[in-house]
Structure 1
Amino acid sequence: MIKAIITDIEGTTSSIDFVHQSLFPYAKQHMRAFLRAQAGNDAVQRELAEVERQENRDLSLNEAADVLEQWIAEDRKYTPLKALQGMIWRQGYEAGELKGHVYADTPEALRRWQGQGLRLYVYSSGSEEAQRLIFGYSDAGDLTPLFSGYFDTRVGGKREAASYRNILKQIGLPGEQVLFLSDIGEELDAAQAAGLKTCQLLRDERTRPAAGHQQVQKLTEVVV
């Protein structure tokens, strides 16, 4: 019996286009000014130190901004980039300049599953803060009360089975009681290797079907 559902965001609950055409450009546009304005912020400095560690060299603020903008262009899944993007997006959401996209079937499915007593979690390469923002400021209202927790790349990469084992340990459930939802076959394969049940979302023709997993086009079609 499934007792918990872990869902990806991009291409699963929300549009890939929203992330790549709205969120990423917003972060890139505001990155340099944000770093200047927050130069004295300890949390920002910690992430910049991680950027330097990743690059294995000292960086001026402008050089760090150059690196981060390049990482955005390359869609790098690096934790310091995701953390800084989350901070920038928070300002955008709070200013009303951003509104989190979710597919029309997403709120219906999430509310139904929670009403059935299932625990809902998010696992995305975006930071935990970014995850809370996209659901907290969604175009369907605040959906964060539906979730029991959030996981990002600090538990490991999404294509590594060990990451899903780490999540299972944290939520205290065996794999056979947990369903993982994603559009990416390699992520589903990793989750399956860790013992989780899986389902692939085929939202559009860009998604490559992955063998060995339940497949649906909408969250409301997922068999739990």
Structure 2
Amino acid sequence: MTDELRGLLRESAEAHLPDRARMLARVERGTARRGAARGRRDRARTGTLTWPKIVLATLATAGTLTVSALTVVAVVHTPDPPRQPAAAAPSAADRTAPPTAGSRTEDGPLWADGSVDPHSNTYWAQSNVTLKTRKPLTALVVELRIALTAGVKDTGSWRTLPAEDFELSAREEGGFLVYRWTLKPGRNVPSGEHVFAGQYDHATGGRDAKDDAYRIDAAGAGEAGAAVWGGFA
């Protein structure tokens, strides 16, 4: 191949090399046209959401919110299940007033009796208050009053029910040594027979218990209170 032919071929090949600048410009124009077409399609789709559809969409949203709100209201305003009323505790006047004259050994579910324990002796005595209840109790105050005859002095007390269920006090009040057992809030006394006892020294010899007395105030869950009282004569 002659040098002249080689030169002609080279010139022809260079004439067919792609123009990079023109190719880039063509790509940019094509991209711009596709973006414009997409924008027109998006606007066309947006335009199809006419006001009736907008209204329906708004109502659907509002309906969802309304249902949610009604659900919340229903939960908030659902009434609590009825609760059993708490028993009314004996009043302060009942707890501090001396037992009524005479006796009432039975009232509603309560029955009671007072007695001097047979193991008492010429120096020491124990007075027992026996309580029987046909129903469980949620409020209870048992009061034992020992007249302050010669030599009377507290030496202790006990009860057949758990000690931790009661508040106990023993003090001299108005000429009596007074033992008082008060059932703590939230505790219960089961139906059955229960004993409360006060122990005390006294002057040598026999002691007359005619002035001693007891009183019991009690109530069950949701029931009116009951009271019994009596003496040791």
The TM-score by the shorter chain falls in which range? under 0.3
When Rg is computed on C-alpha atoms for both structures, the one with the higher figure is 2
Instruction: Indicate the structure with greater strand content.
Output: 2
- TM-score between both structures, scaled by the size of structure 1: 0.20
Instruction: Indicate the structure with greater helix content.
Output: 1
